[in-house]
Amino acid sequence: MKKTGAQLVCEALLREGVEVVFGIPGGAILPLYQTLPQYPQIRHILTRHEEGAAMAADGYARVTGKVGVCLATSGPGATHLVTGIANAAMDSVPLVAITGQVARKAIGTDAFQETDIIGITLPITKHNYQVLHAKDIPRVIKEAFYLAGTGRPGPVLIDIPKDVFTEVAEAEFPEVVDLPGHRPVLEGHPAQLRRAVRLIQEAKRPLILAGHGVLISRAWDDLRAFAEKTGIPVITTLLGISGFPADHVLYVGMPGMHGAAYASLAIDEADLLIALGMRFDDRVTGNLEAFARGAKVIHVDIDPAEIGKNRKPDVPIVGDVRHVLRQLLPMVSHGSYPEWLARIEQLKREHPLRVPDSAGLLPQEIIEHLSDITGGRAIVATGVGQHQMWTAQFYKFVEPNHFLTSGGLGSMGYEVPAAIGAQIGCPDKLVWSVAGDGGFQMTMCELATVVENRLPIKFAIINNCSLGMVRQWQQVFYQRSYVASCYTGNPDFVKLADAYGIRGLRVTDKTQVRTAIEEACEHPGPVLIDFQVEQEENVYPFIPPGMSVKELMEDPRLRSPQRERVV
């Protein structure tokens, strides 16, 4: 049977199990939009900006494990997707972006709203396609979903000229994908596994460093089983947070630039690091030459390009984290490290991570109350900056895959659309978007998407009337020269919420925090809380970029009289 290119797109999406797409229509992609009503099984979420569409698809993909899908028209529609695509690439999120393009005869003529989106996105996609014949659409979409979701996940872009959407072709849908160059390795090599087991048996102070790969491979149960059998304590990277329950006796915390001091110090004293699905990012390691100098390294990653890229491992294992852990579990012995665990507890006492005493409203206590009231079981989406670090430090995630954040790209504005995608993907879950006032204003137009789709998302704005992390760096490194980081032009966020028909609350005193959060949790619809906090509150601990744990800066308000490590 012959079908139009647009019909072939919709039917191919249904064959890939797609239930929801995020996007905005425009001229070049209108033939696809005009076809969508023929396929009511595909729910379309109209966002207010294409960046929001890409980031909502990203959040949806993270919580569901499915490939997220976003749509945009040619030119500015396509280029507006770029930040969201780059975010998915940096954080290994499976995403398929479908863009309209000018008609085939107009390509290369600088036609209205023509942009070379293939060239633009080449560095930030696993692969991209420009489909010039309708008959190729089924094969391309099947390949795109396979590439996006297998191996190390990532974004794939499909660019389709307007007249290809209207071209008629035979509907032939391939059952299998034939990509000889894409053969992800899932199982670890037996010889490397045996070498890893020997290092584990010899270690006295081992640590597991669990990264985003644990969540991507859905390996949280396997990680817990492995940690409990071996008795090895677990540290999670920023993107690995919620891959291991924060209330577990073996959980240590997050290390690195703004991680818990005791986690970074434990790494410095470890004699073995078992790195699972993490890439030794600079925010974890700081000065690579000084990072964990006394430790041997077992590195497990599905992407062979990541192994040895930053830190050379003693035992490299290419494979999917879940598969490798299931291979290792019967090979390792039951173990315990009482002296090592006691040392880590000592580090926790000497370098505490807690809310400082203050008369004013501090962001840390807001997150601490949020964690306590929700029991650590909410899905929490953040952007990037101080609020992101405070959430990572003080929200105690006990459910897996519940922390969504822009890790590698560090994109302000991620939190609002990601929460939308998460709520649509998990409609029965409590979803909180935690934002800074600066990042919130980058995507606050998506509140309309929230209202239109009746999404009961709760929004916490940590409002310090500044670009908080920029201001902190200016304080520390630029002699308090606060150029373009502090401002007074914020809108009244409560009135803004009211304008959208959303319940708005304002909190100015610490005595109001719990009541506001409880009210938001109990309200059946969306709620926005404007938390007006101390402007000059800084994130501690802090290892300056390029430095090591030896240069660790800790909160002077938490200084212990028994030590002099505080800078």
Alpha-carbon Rg for the chain, nearest whole angstrom, is: 24
Instruction: Please tell me the distance from the alpha carbon of residue 404 to that of residue 457, in angstroms, as a whole number.
Output: 14
Over the stretch 538-559, which tens digit does the pLDDT of each residue have?
Answer: 999 999 999 999 999 999 998 6
- Give the tens place of pLDDT for each residue, 491-540: 999 999 999 999 999 999 999 999 999 999 999 999 999 999 999 999 99
Question: pLDDT tens digits, residue range 8-65?
Answer: 999 999 999 999 999 999 999 999 999 999 999 999 999 999 999 999 999 999 999 9
Catalytic residue flag (residue 469): yes
**Quick check: 103 pLDDT over 50?**
yes
pLDDT at 567: 33
Say how far apart CA 52 and CA 446 lie, in whole Å.
7
Is residue 113 among the annotated active site residues? yes
Per-domain boundaries in the chain: 2-170, 190-350, 363-532
High-pLDDT (> 90) share of the chain, %: 97
Give CA–CA dist 281/204, Å, rounded: 25
Three-state SS across 22-60? EECCCHHHHHHHHHHHHCCCCEEEECCCHHHHHHHHHHH
- What is the dotted CATH code of the domain comprising 363-532? 3.40.50.970
Q: Is 162 a catalytic residue?
A: yes
pLDDT band at 565 (very low <50, low <70, confident <90, very high): very low
Residue 34, C-beta contacts closer than 8 angstroms, at least 6 positions apart: 6
Please report which confidence band the pLDDT of residue 560 belongs to, taking 50, 70 and 90 as the band edges: low
Residue 488, pLDDT score: 87
Decide: helix, strand or coil at residue 435. Answer: strand
Rounded distance, CA 319 to CA 305, Å? Answer: 12
pLDDT for res 368: 98
pLDDT for 142 beyond 90: yes
The counts of H helices and E strands in the chain are: 23, 20
Run of H or E including 6: helix 5-15
Q: What is the pLDDT of residue 563?
A: 46
pLDDT value at 435 more than 50: yes
**Is 535 considered catalytic here?**
no
Alpha carbons 557 and 534: distance in angstroms, whole number: 15
Q: Which candidate in 11, 16, 19, 113 is catalytic? A: 113
Of the residues 38, 105, 112, 534, which is catalytic? Answer: 112
Which of 66, 162, 396, 510 does the annotation list as catalytic? 162
Contact 1, 170 (CB under 8 A): yes
Q: CATH second-level architecture of 2-170? A: 3-Layer(aba) Sandwich (3.40)
Fill in the DSSP letter of residue 179. -
Q: CA-CA distances (angstroms) from residue 565 to 106, 172, 444, 510, 550?
A: 65, 67, 41, 30, 9
Whole-angstrom distance, CA of residue 233 vs CA of residue 226: 10
3-state SS assignment for residue 95: strand
Mean pLDDT within 338-361: 96
Is the pLDDT reported for residue 561 higher than 80? Answer: no
> Strands, DSSP E only, in 119-177?
127-130, 155-161, 168-170
DSSP code, position 215 = H
Choose the catalytic residue: 50, 51, 143, 446: 50
The pLDDT tens digits of the residues spanning 174-202 come to 999 989 989 999 999 999 999 999 999 99
Give the pLDDT confidence score for residue 558 in this predicted structure: 86
Residue 564 confidence (pLDDT): 41
What is the pLDDT, as a whole number, of residue 559?
Answer: 67
Separation CA 312–CA 137 (nearest Å): 42
- Whole-angstrom distance, CA of residue 123 vs CA of residue 488: 38
Q: What is the pLDDT of residue 562?
A: 47
Which residues make Cβ contacts (< 8 Å) with residue 463, sequence separation at least 6? 436, 437, 490, 493, 530, 531, 532, 533
pLDDT band at 566 (very low <50, low <70, confident <90, very high): very low
The CATH superfamily label for domain 190-350 reads TPP-binding domain (3.40.50.1220)
The DSSP line for 263-317 is HHHHHHH-SEEEEES----HHHHSSGGGTTTT-EEEEEES-GGGTTTSS--SEEE
**Model pLDDT for residues 248-271, shown as the tens digit of each residue:** 999 999 999 999 999 999 999 999
In whole angstroms, give the CA distance from residue 160 to residue 147. Answer: 18
Do 190-350 and 363-532 share a fold? Answer: yes
Which of 469, 474, 531, 542 does the annotation list as catalytic? Answer: 469
| DSSP-assigned beta bridge partners for residue 296 | 272
**What is the overall mean pLDDT for the chain?**
96
Distance between CA atoms of 481 and 382, rounded to whole angstroms? Answer: 27
